Structure 1
Amino acid sequence: MKFKIFFALLSIMFLISVDGVINFKNKIAIKPANATTKVNQSPVGRIIEADGKVFLKRHNWSEYYPVFVGTELYAKDRIKLTSQANLRAICYANWKTWNVPKNTISQTIDGCLQAKSQCIETPDGCVPFDATRGINQVAITDKIPYLISPRHTLLLPDKPLILAWNPVPDATRYSVIIKSPSEYIWETEVSENQVLYSGKIPLKTGVRYTVIIHSDTEVSSIDEESPFSKQDDLGIGFAVMSQSQQQEIIAKSEELTQKLDGEGRVLTLAEFYQQKRLNVEAIAILKSFIESGNSTSAIYQMLGEIYQQIQLPQLAKDYYLQSAKLIGVDDVGGKAEVEAALGEVYATLGSKEDAIYWLNLAYNRYEKLGESERGKELKSLVEKLN
């Protein structure tokens, strides 16, 4: 009966909508002004190898600036290489690589046919996949056992399912439940903040499952205040891919693995997994790269973007800060992106001074680049916070 009451409360909470700036217990969730970005303004590729002097100019930049591995490319971007430089990009439309010609100015759309970007149905309409990184924000507190993994993701059917959540202060026991829309699937009790699903009842494809965690401190994961369920069919939960889908994923990932290496391979596979909504797989390959002793700003930034997208701002903040420390001084565009993301994440966490600090840094860089529209958006966010 207790669980049914919680589910009733949860359904009421999901009716909360996000519009502009919302206060959740003195925390702020910001929706950027460009939430309805057109699909044709989504990235069409990413730089995966760069050697020598490589310069890029976006359609609204005032001049060319150096770019580096990890930079995403848009259809109207122009790229310039010196005779000693080499640049390789991965194209999202077909997952093929593009070697950018030397001693000439190339336009991204000439090398990467513009992808038909996936979009997500939201209250604002069909928003491009990458644009949701800035709007899927939610205020959560460390005092509840909110779900960390698997969160807002598809899962490959043949892999073990490990459930992980935020450890609650003073909690010694957790009751963990997996539920489908029609029935309870599994329940167990543990003392740690993660558990392996027994698999006694096979999970079905095409079903959204919800994980509920109750602690012995009388708080629950469904106390999380979130409008996330409105973003798409996954919500905070997860679903299992079919065997046929898994075979396609494995075949393509093996192909990418064979033709790429190093950081470029990791970034490409993580992007591929994320676009297939396999956030668990994307996070795993990025973290594995870091654990192997590799630290780059692009890897940390992508982790921050994924955690921001799945509405875990505290984790997103930590990875963005690492990215900000590692990013090169010449990467003006990259610094602007990371600083803007940090401003948005700090705002969701209720840290207004930190949010304003990072947003102002990003504003100054966008003004330097000549991106006045993006600068106006950030200035508007600062004004709302003051």
Structure 2
Amino acid sequence: MLNWKRTIQAALTLILMGWATPVLSSPIHVLIDVRGNVQVKKAQWKGFIQAESGITLSSEDKIKLGSNASVTVYCSDRNQWTETQAGTYLVSKGCPEGETVIRLCPDCNNDTRRPSGKKEERLKQLPYLISPRNTLVFNDSLTLRWNRVSGASQYKIKVGDWEGQTQETQIVYDGELEPGEFYTVRVVADNGVASTDEDDGQYSWFIVLEEEEAKTLQEQVGAIALQENPEREGLVLAYFYRGNELNAKAIQVLEGLVKSGSQTTTVYQLLGDIYQQVGLSLMAKEVYQQGLALTTEAESEVKAMMQRELGEVEYSLGDRDEAAKWLENAKASYSALGDEVQVEKLAKRIDFILERD
């Protein structure tokens, strides 16, 4: 049996000792306000399409404003760029190089896909960990959450040497947390099923930030203030948290926006992406479907991304035909954008998924 704790700790040790070098993540700029006729063109697209609030941009991307239009971009260095004059602009004009605070998450460019895992019906029967999961955490109040199991009335929770018991599907951890320490979480229902039946604990862990790193990140969080619009602030915070591997914090922020009735599709796309990243396939599937129901633009990168990842979710749940269907939809959406790189990748991915054993 693979010891995931030992594997993850070994990888972290290699990085700290300099034997493995983590890939530096790229700065991203968040389009937080669109008014009037605003279009964007990413470097790999054939032309401009209607801008969508909440999308991320790189310095090489372009923004085009029509008459009486305006746009605001939250730059990676926490400055805001607002443009009101009609014309075409490189993002680097308004967001020049500076301190990178908002960045792409370290694994966001990783095209390695997980193999097919537990089937959907089986997952629903397990008390799989929801949060904190596959994440860094601050050394403060921690609430553990897991999936409700039909027929179970009691759950036992173990975090390191700490144990708790409850009839609910969440519990406040009241033990001590040591900075820099790695913790595994196991939930056992009174009908005998356990969270580790999902993936042998591959994703059921968290690491407490070292004190100095936590202090720096909390100061940066405090500087991200968009109080005039909680949704914009929430999106920027979610990108910030994800870029710093604080997945539980990002999920908490985005779930709050969804519960408040957000109509911004990028909220659902980003939440689905993080669910998928930490292995919460069922929750990713649900939120992607919610987001796709909100899409109205024929040419939409957000729609294409959700279709692609929904295909990957279906594959991870063992449904190859449904996976191929969603990936075909994504391929058509990327083709409409003129993103031939993604079209080619998806064609190869579909061929792989449809190969039968």
TM-score range, shorter chain: 0.7 to 0.9
The aligned runs of 1:1-386 (5 Å cut-off) are 9-11=1-3, 42=26, 44-92=28-76, 94-100=77-83, 102-113=85-96, 115=100, 128-132=106-110, 135=113, 139-140=117-118, 141-159=123-141, 161-179=142-160, 184=161, 186-199=162-175, 202-225=176-199, 228=202, 236-258=204-226, 261-386=229-354
**Displacement of 1:351:** 2.1
Task: State the distance in 1 between where 2:60 and 2:92 align.
Answer: 7
Instruction: Note if contact 2:116-2:318 (Cα within 8 Å) is conserved in structure 1.
Output: no
Write the deviation string for residues 229-260 of structure 1: whole angstroms up to 9, x where unpaired: xxxxxx53112234544443333323222565
User: 1:130 deviation in Å?
Assistant: 2.1
1:225 Cα deviation after fit = 2.7
Q: Distance in 2 between matches of 1:12 and 1:158?
A: 25
Instruction: Report % sequence identity.
Output: 30
Deviation at 1:57, TM superposition (A): 1.4
CA distance in 1, matches of 2:91, 2:200: 38
Q: Deviations over 1:173-205 (max 9, x none)?
A: 3221111xxxx2x11233332222233xx1111
* Whole-angstrom distance in 2 between the partners of 1:39 and 1:110: 23
Q: Does the 8 Å contact 1:172/1:216 carry over to 2?
A: yes
- Kindly tell me: are residues 258 and 334 of structure 1, through their superposed partners in 2, closer, same or farther at Cα, counting changes over 3 Å? closer
Going from structure 1 to structure 2, the CA distance change for 1:117 and 1:246 (only over 3 Å counts) comes to closer
Secondary structure at the counterpart of residue 209 of structure 1? strand
Query: In the TM superposition, what whole-angstrom CA distance separates every residue of 1:266-294 from its partner, at most 9, and x where no partner exists?
Result: 11011112222222222222222233343
TM-score normalised by length of structure 2: 0.83
Aligned CA distance change for structure 1 residues 315 and 84 (closer, same or farther; 3 Å): same
1:297 and 1:326 in contact (8 A); partners too: yes
Q: Tell me which amino acid in the other structure corresponds to 1:76.
A: E
Secondary structure, counterpart of 1:218 in structure 2? coil
Residue type of the alignment partner of 1:195 = I
Change (3 A) 1:150 1:13: closer
- Larger RCO, structure (CA 8 Å, separation 6 or more): 1
After superposition, what is the alpha-carbon deviation per residue over 1:54-112, rounded to whole angstroms, capped at 9, x for unaligned? 111122212111111011112321111113111111122x1222224632221123333
| Residue 17 (structure 2) aligns with | none
Contact 2:269 2:302 in 1 (8 A): no
TM-score (structure 1 length as normaliser) = 0.77
**Structure-2 residue corresponding to 1:20:** none
Partners in 2 of 1:65 and 1:219 — Cα distance? 49
Q: CA deviation at 1:136?
A: 6.0
Summarize the Cα distance change of 1:134–1:109 in structure 2 as closer, same or farther, 3 Å threshold: farther
